[in-house]
Amino acid sequence: MREIISAAEAARILHCRPQKVRERIKAGRWAFGKAIPPAKSGGQMTYDIYARRMYQFFGMEIPDSVHQGVRPKEQ
């Protein structure tokens, strides 16, 4: 699993609808992602949802697939 996932992927894991994920991240109620405003007027909002942070936020066990998808930080 990648570190940044889509709202649809997060919704599948959380057993809710993607719109709920997007709305709560945009409102700042769920702090494991960020809403990015469109570059141009009339464009669509995009969302970066961090899988590891999502699992930690809800106190869920982080699957091995998330561990494997994260590169160690360079020093």
**Over residues 2-6, mean pLDDT:** 90
Please report which residue ranges of 1-75 form alpha helices under DSSP H.
7-14, 18-27, 51-57, 64-68
**CB neighbours of 49 closer than 8 A, spacing ≥ 6?**
4, 5, 6, 7, 9, 10, 21, 25, 32, 33
Task: Give pLDDT tens digits for 23-44.
Answer: 999 999 999 999 999 999 989 9
pTM of the model: 0.80
Q: Is 12 left (phi over 0), alpha (psi -120 to 50) or beta?
A: alpha
